[in-house]
Chains A and B, each alone.
Chain A
Amino acid sequence: MMENFFLGAALFLCLLVLPCLYRAIVGPTIIDRMVAIGAIGTKTLVILVLMGFLYERVAMFIDISIVYALLNFISTLAAARYFEMKGDI
């Protein structure tokens, strides 16, 4: 029962990634793309934890998702910094 719920939630989140992907590809400005990528990263993080529940190895997948969150944070920040400084870090 619980497994089906997690599977459904993960699939639904995968579907929700698609609109963000549309914005990331089409998005008229760079900022649109950055925000879209950030949103996709956050969804991926939740999907990773749900996968951990499905494979019954939550401890392992939580470690991975923490690193993923960290990298997501750094990439958004680095991109923001890059555009704020006009191409210089």
Chain B
Amino acid sequence: MDKKSTTYRTYPYTPLTAYHPIFSQRRIEQVRHLLLAFILLFLFWLLLSGHYDLFHVSIGIFCCMLISYTSSDFLFLHIGADDTHLILPRLTMYLPWLFYQIMLSNLHLVKLVFSPISRLNPRIIPYQTKLTNGLALVTFANSITLTPGTITIELEENTFYVHAIDSKAANDLLTGDMENHIEKVFLPIAHLKERSKTMLAAEANNLIVKTVIRLFTPFIQIYGLYVIAHGHYSPGGGFQGGVILAASVILLVLAFGLHKTMTKFTEKLTVMLCSTGVLIYGGIGLLCLLLGGNFLDYQKLDIFLKVGAPAARSLGILGIELGIGIAVMACMISIFYDIATGGDFPEQDDPSANDVVDNNSSGDER
């Protein structure tokens, strides 16, 4: 891509974007986010797995590809700044400073606890912040809470309501030292809002819960797949992994509301996955039966797989676990949907009936 080497190009340089939408700026950003999500999730998988043979690593690569394809937009929202990849290293530089602050306020709190006269002077202070980016706001709110003596109670637009245990804790916050550090970490995007138009878009209410769950969901899903895939070494297997996968969807419901989640993870999909899981389980069992063994007599599968009886048994169990995992996940989500709606599920075509969940998030409507 070196421009100097293309000396024959006399006409003005036309970016590839002009020729085909596949090279558009947005598409390149998407691919970069996909790759980054894959790398992060795969590192997490390797950390969990502990089995580094070809078989398990290839399962890991497959699972991470699947999750990064379905949920890479959970990890990285479209912001429109280019050098966002610098945030992660700068965040790791910020952590030691945060730990130092936590230690200092810990010492201060110990002094307060053991002082003979009570010097507590609890108060709630509003704190205007200049940050606007959702991620930066969440990092700031969590840093305040992590520091002993101060707790973020509420975040409204750009005002934090902070509970401080005495005047020193309050004054430490009001100097704005911590805010400046966080602004430096998120420099390119600190004053930009996310432009995402999906349900993940950062909104004013419940910003902290939404952002944290958005970032957690892909990792929870990877963990569920890890539990399914390593069922024969560690506690877990299809049932437990399925429940963890379902928990990730339930978390989405808790954060983003029932209706918005159901447009992404529809009831139709739930029913389809449920029957697919049972089909995988019963299919493998019946296949063994047809090959002349008992129901779920995995070693008969060796006639197809040609890898030796023990390996065939292992693969057969993995297939069964996968089927169980899918079926359990779909069933759990289906049960949760039914309980959460109380049976009277609003029709998807009727938009007025769907707004019940969203409008009431402030909680004082009815």
Q: Which residues of A contact B (CB under 8 A)?
A: 59-60, 63-64, 66-67, 70-71, 74, 77-78, 81, 84-86, 88-89
Contacts and interface: CB of A to CB of B under 8 A. Distances in A.
A36 B247 CA distance: 23
B145 to A, nearest CB: 14
Given A67-B244, A77-B209, A89 B227 contact: no
B360 A81 contact: no
B65 to A, nearest CB: 23
B109 interface: no
B234 to A, nearest CB: 5
A84 B251 contact: no
A86 B366 contact: yes
Contacts of A81: 254
For chain A, what secondary structure do more than half of its interface residues adopt (helix, strand, loop), or is it mixed? helix
Most B CB within 10 A of own CB, among A71, A78, A85: A85
A89 B50 CA distance: 38
B79 interface: no
Given A70-B247, A71-B247, A85-B361, A63 B253 contact: no
Interface string B189-206: 000000000000000000
Contact of B254 (A59, A60, A70, A77): A77
Most chain A beta-carbon contacts within 10 A, residue among B209, B234, B361: B234
Given A81-B254, A89-B340, A64 B244 contact: no
Nearest to A86: B363
B235 interface: yes
Nearest to A64: B235
A88 B360 contact: yes
Interface string B250-278: 11011100100000000000000000000
24 contacts: A60-B234, A60-B235, A63-B48, A63-B227, A63-B234, A63-B235, A64-B235, A67-B227, A67-B240, A67-B244, A70-B244, A74-B251, A77-B209, A77-B251, A77-B255, A81-B254, A84-B361, A85-B360, A85-B361, A85-B363, A86-B366, A88-B357, A89-B258, A89-B340
B236 interface: yes
Nearest to B227: A63
Contacts of B50: 59
B235 A70 contact: no
A59 B258 CA distance: 36
A88 B363 CA distance: 10
B217 to A, nearest CB: 11
Contacts of A88: 357, 360
A74 B234 contact: no
Contacts of A85: 360-361, 363
Given A64-B235, A89-B254, A70 B240 contact: no
B366 to A, nearest CB: 7
Most B Cβ at <10 Å: residue of A64, A74, A81, A89? A89
B223 interface: yes
A60 B235 CA distance: 7
B85 to A, nearest CB: 28
Contacts of A67: 227, 240, 244
A67 B241 CA distance: 10
A88 B235 CA distance: 34
Interface in B322-366: 340, 357, 360-361, 363, 366
A1 B272 CA distance: 55
B223 A66 contact: yes
B354 to A, nearest CB: 14
Nearest to A63: B234
A52 to B, nearest CB: 11
Contacts of A70: 220, 223, 244, 247
Nearest to B336: A89
A84 B50 CA distance: 41
